């Protein structure tokens, strides 16, 4: 089967990506890490267009984790500035592509101008329906779960929620991705076999795909390979296949 003949039922509805390897990409070329991050923005724009062409309606990318604050202050500053610059130069193109931008992540720790920028981007693209682009920024999977627990505890303390009514759907409804289904496919670039505190609740049954390709080199072919691999997977969600004997 060619990659282009994969039927839509085999196409993931929601792809999540850990965009790793910007630093290594730059260092391999004797360039500052910042160059790798800039190249990473180009790779992200390309991935957005690819999703649109291939009929993938939801893309969630890990742009800045709760742990990334521990990087050197100059790199943190650069990533914040890059985010601002990217929105000022690329937002209109993303808007024309029909992408609806949503930030997922904690607001605590983000400066007012960064928050303002996110709010503007979300408002500008709010009516777009070609692609939902969730950008995880100041995001951590554990933080996501902690904040959901806190909300539930407050409801319980106020008497509006009974402990025995808390189930998986209730928790899901308080996660930062409550507006979309769980990812079908999680891609990680740059070869490391870990999930790095990304979408921990949401990836319970997500298919994982790790490629050695560094994020700035992630192109249509690499994305298509991930989709072709996904199309071969048998998703059982903990059950047996119909054809499995007892």
User: Smaller CB distance to ligand FPP: residue 25 or 230?
Assistant: 25
User: Smaller CB distance to ligand FPP: residue 24 or 233?
Assistant: 24
User: Smaller CB distance to ligand FPP: residue 23 or 141?
Assistant: 23
Q: Which residue is nearest to ligand FPP (CB)?
A: 23
For residues 226 and 211, the answer to whether their CB atoms sit within 8 Å is yes
Least distance from ligand FPP to the Cβ atom of residue 41, Å: 5
User: Residue 21 and residue 11: Cα distance in Å, rounded?
Assistant: 26
Token readout for 6 is 């994969």
For residues 185 and 16, the answer to whether their CB atoms sit within 8 Å is yes
Q: 157: which residues sit within 8 A by CB, 6+ positions away? A: none
Residue numbers at the binding site for ligand FPP (CB under 6 A)? 19-24, 37, 40-41, 44, 63, 68, 82-83, 86, 135, 190, 215
Q: What is the set of active-site residues?
A: 20, 68
Question: Given phi > 0 = left and psi -120 to 50 = alpha, else beta, which region is 196?
Answer: left
Helices (runs of H) and strands (runs of E) counted in the chain: 7, 6
Least distance from ligand FPP to the Cβ atom of residue 236, Å: 32
Residue 185 — φ and ψ, nearest 5°?
Answer: -140, 130
For residues 139 and 177, the answer to whether their CB atoms sit within 8 Å is no
Long-range contacts of 189-193 (CB under 8 A, 24+ apart): 189/17, 189/18, 189/19, 189/20, 189/21, 189/213, 189/214, 189/215, 189/218, 189/222, 190/20, 190/21, 190/24, 190/214, 190/215, 191/21, 192/20
Least distance from ligand FPP to the Cβ atom of residue 181, Å: 22
Residue 84, Cβ density class (10 Å: 0-12 exposed, 13-18 middle, ≥19 buried): middle
User: Smaller CB distance to ligand FPP: residue 18 or 227?
Assistant: 18
Least distance from ligand FPP to the Cβ atom of residue 136, Å: 9
User: Smaller CB distance to ligand FPP: residue 40 or 105?
Assistant: 40
Least distance from ligand FPP to the Cβ atom of residue 79, Å: 6
């Amino acid at each position: 089967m060619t990659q282009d003949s994969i039927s839509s039922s085999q196409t993931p509805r929601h792809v999540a990506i850990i965009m790793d390897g910007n630093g290594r990409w730059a260092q391999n070329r004797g360039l500052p890490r910042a160059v790798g991050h800039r190249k990473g923005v180009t790779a992200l724009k390309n991935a957005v267009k690819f999703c649109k062409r291939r009929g993938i309606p939801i893309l969630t990318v890990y742009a800045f984790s709760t742990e990334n604050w521990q990087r050197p202050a100059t790199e943190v500053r650069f990533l914040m500035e890059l985010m601002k610059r990217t929105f000022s130069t690329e937002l209109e193109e993303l808007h024309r592509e029909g992408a609806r931008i949503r930030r997922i992540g904690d607001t605590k720790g983000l400066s007012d101008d960064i928050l303002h920028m996110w709010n503007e981007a979300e408002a500008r693209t709010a009516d777009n329906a070609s692609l939902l682009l969730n950008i995880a920024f100041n995001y951590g999977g554990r933080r996501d779960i902690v904040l959901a627990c806190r909300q539930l505890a407050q409801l319980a303390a106020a008497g509006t929620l009974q402990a025995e009514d808390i189930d998986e759907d209730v928790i899901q409804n308080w996660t930062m991705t409550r507006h979309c289904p769980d990812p079908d496919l999680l891609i990680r670039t740059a070869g490391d076999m870990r999930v790095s505190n990304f979408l921990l609740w949401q990836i319970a049954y997500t298919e994982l795909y790790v490629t050695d390709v560094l994020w700035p080199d992630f192109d249509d072919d690499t994305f298509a390979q991930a989709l072709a691999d996904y199309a071969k997977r048998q998703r059982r969600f903990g059950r047996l296949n119909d054809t499995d004997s007892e």
